Structure 1
Amino acid sequence: MESKATERSVYVDVSKIPWEPTPFPGVEVKTLYRDASGRVTSLTRLAPGAVLPRHRHVGLEQSFVLEGTLVDEDGACTAGNFVWRRPGSVHHAWSPDGCVVLGVFEAPNEFLDAEGR
């Protein structure tokens, strides 16, 4: 990761971070920050029609949609809008038109089977 650090700040050149594939078709991620406690800040890109399968958030999850629309069972979050989920929340998410989302969460997300295990 390309970055410039000062005593107080770390500046990250996000354009130099490659999009990394995930196990889920059409879903890629750029990890901007991760620490030993599991706090993560990332960009997630979903291609049109891509799905993030059912999962549980171990901690607070915050998502700001930069482009497109992110949808789950509770509603749709469009570009320029923000959604957060409580610790322990379970959902799956998808994007009908593709999207890029800035996410802040505690890892790991627990991906579940159809029975929620």
Structure 2
Amino acid sequence: MPETTRESLTSGGWKTLPFEPFREDVTIHWIQPFENDQPGVALLKYEAGASVPRHLHMGLETIVVLEGTQSDEAGDYGPGSLVVNRQGTEHSVWSDTGCVVLIQWDRPVKILQEETV
């Protein structure tokens, strides 16, 4: 059995997991935090209208959309979508409807421009 297991994520199993603040209107459930040069793995829950400002990928980022729609400048990604962002790419992310994604980062991203109010 794996060291860390989360069951039934694609059928709503994430709904019973504890989430904590990550960014404004975005919460996180860490499955594997970044430590000792190990990749980070987490669930991110975006409220409707939430966004993450333009950022640079310092390593590979892989996302699976579990619920709702996540968007970036290249398009909209619904449930079951796989999004792979290579090292050196940049984009911003938002969700008009709200969404939950499973995300794996090789390295933390670098925020390029904070949102202004």
Question: Under a length normalisation based on structure 2, what TM-score does the superposition of the two structures give?
Answer: 0.81
Contact between 1:57 and 1:87, CA under 8 Å: does it hold in 2?
A: yes
Distance 2:38 2:75 in 1: 27
Secondary structure, aligned partner of 2:69: strand
Unmatched tracts of structure 2, length 5 or more: 7-13
Q: Alignment length, in residue pairs? A: 106
**Aligned partner of 1:10 among 3, 19, 36:** 3
Instruction: Tell me the CA shift for residue 18 of structure 1.
Output: 2.2
Structure 1 residues 44-55: aligned runs within 5 Å: 44-55=44-55
Per the alignment, residue 3 of structure 1 pairs with none
Per the alignment, residue 29 of structure 1 pairs with 28
Aligned pair in 2 of structure 1 residues 50, 107: CA closer, same or farther (>3 Å)? same
Instruction: Tell me the CA shift for residue 76 of structure 1.
Output: 1.0
* RMSD of Structure 2 on Structure 1 (CA): 1.9
Higher strand share: 1
Question: Under a length normalisation based on structure 1, what TM-score does the superposition of the two structures give?
Answer: 0.81
Unmatched tracts of structure 1, length 5 or more: 1-7
Instruction: Tell me the CA shift for residue 29 of structure 1.
Output: 0.6
List 4+ stretches of structure 1 deviating above 4 A.
Answer: 13-17
Larger Cα Rg: Structure 1 or Structure 2?
1
Between the two proteins, what is the percent identity of the paired residues?
34
Per the alignment, residue 4 of structure 1 pairs with none
